[in-house]
Amino acid sequence: DDVKELMKVLKANAFKYKNTLQMGRSHGIHAEPTTFGLTFALWYEEMKRNLTRMKTARETINYGQLSGPVGTFSSLPTSIEKHVCKKLGLKPDPVVTQVIQRDRHAEYMNTLALIAGAVEKMAVEIRHLQRTEVLEAEEPFEKGQKGSSAMPHKRNPVGSENLSGLSRVVRANAMAALENIPLWHERDISHSSVERIIIPDSTILIDYMLVRLTGILKGLQVYPERMKENIERSYGLYCSQRVLLKLTEKGMSREDAYSLVQKTAMESWKQRKPFRDLLKKEPSMTKYLSAKDIDNLFDFKFYTKHVDYIFRRVFK
C-alpha cells in the first residue's frame, strides 16, 4: 500500500509538471532541455517495477515447512505439514533441509534494497535541486521549522538526507541476507541471529521511508521560473547537437562539424556570450546555415515534442 500511495503522488506530479521545462543534466553538466514531469514519470515507472518485484518476493517467501531434522519427514507424517501450512496461509516448500533455504529470504531483502535505492534516487535529486546554486525545488518547510541551530537563514533538505542515510542501512542488510544463503550441510544457525535484526528492521524502515518520501513529494515546492533561468545559464549550449546535425545535413563532414561547433561552444563559455550570437558571426558556420536556420534550431518545442508519446507509454 505504501508503494501504491507513493505512485499516486508521482503520477499526480508527473501530469502537473508535464510541460514544465527544465534543463536535463548528465554528469552534473547541462545537456539538453527536458520537462520536470518526465522526472516524475521516470520515478513512477521504477516504482511500478518495484511493486511487481514486491508481489513476486512475497510469493517467493510465502512458504513453510515441518518436515523433521533434515527435511525427510523421518518422524512426521507429511499430512501434518500440509495441515499446518494451510492454517498459516503458507505453501509447503517442495524440498528443504532442517530449514527453508535462505535464497527466499535474500530475494525479499534485495527487493527491499531495490526499493530503498529508488527512494534514495528521488531523495538525491531533491537534494541537488535544493542547492542554493540550483534552487529549482525544495522540500516543504513548515512554520517554525529550523534549518540550522546556528544559521537562521538555512533551509536544509533534511528529510531527503535522512532517506539517503536509511537507504544505506537497507542495502547493507540485503548484503547480510545474501551471506545467509550458504549454511553448513543441512543447517547451522549462523543465519538466525542476523535475520532477527535485518528482516524486521528493513521492513519497518522501508515502510517509514516510503511514507516520509510521499509526504515530501506531496508538499514539494517547485520553481518553474528558476528552471528557465538555469536553462539560460549555459548560454544556449544545449543546442550544440542540433547545430552539429544540421551542419552534417547541409553537407559538412561530421568531424569538421563537431570541431566547429565545439570551438564556438567553448568561446561562448569563455566570453559568456550567447551561443546563438556567436554561431551567426562564425564565417564557417554561415557558409552552411543562415541566421534564420540558426534561430529555428533554438526552438524548445523540438525537445518536448515526444513528451505526450512517453506519457502514453508510462501511464497506459
pLDDT, tens digit only, all 316 positions of the chain: 899 999 999 999 999 999 999 999 999 999 999 999 999 999 999 999 999 999 999 999 999 999 999 999 999 999 999 999 999 999 999 999 999 999 999 999 999 999 999 999 999 999 999 999 999 999 997 777 777 777 777 788 999 999 999 999 999 999 999 999 999 999 999 899 999 999 999 999 999 999 999 999 999 999 999 999 999 999 999 999 999 999 999 999 999 999 999 999 999 999 999 999 999 999 999 999 999 999 999 999 999 999 999 999 999 8
191 is catalytic: no
Q: Same domain for 279 and 199?
A: no
What's residue 54's pLDDT?
96
What's residue 142's pLDDT?
77
148 is catalytic: yes
Q: Same domain for 248 and 265?
A: yes
What angle (nearest 5°) sits at the alpha carbon of residue 126, between those of residues 150 and 16?
130
Q: Same domain for 171 and 261?
A: no
Domain end position, chosen among 182, 198, 230: 230
Domains held by the chain: number: 2
The C-alpha atoms of residue 71 and residue 17 are separated, in whole angstroms, by 56
Residue 280 located in a structural domain: yes
Give the active site residue among 26, 27, 79, 193: 27
What's residue 67's pLDDT?
95
Q: Which residues contact 148 (CB under 8 A, 6 or more apart)?
A: 154, 156
Residue 110 contacts residue 83 (beta carbons within 8 Å): no
The C-alpha atoms of residue 220 and residue 141 are separated, in whole angstroms, by 9
Domain end position, chosen among 230, 250, 265: 230
Q: Same domain for 200 and 273?
A: no
Provide the residue range defining the domain that includes 250.
Answer: 237-297
What's residue 77's pLDDT?
95
Give the active site residue among 30, 75, 79, 148: 148
**Cell reading at 175:** 548484503
Q: Same domain for 161 and 20?
A: yes
Cβ neighbours of 91 (radius 10 Å): 14
Q: Same domain for 130 and 205?
A: yes
What's residue 145's pLDDT?
74
What's residue 265's pLDDT?
96
Domain end position, chosen among 212, 230, 248: 230
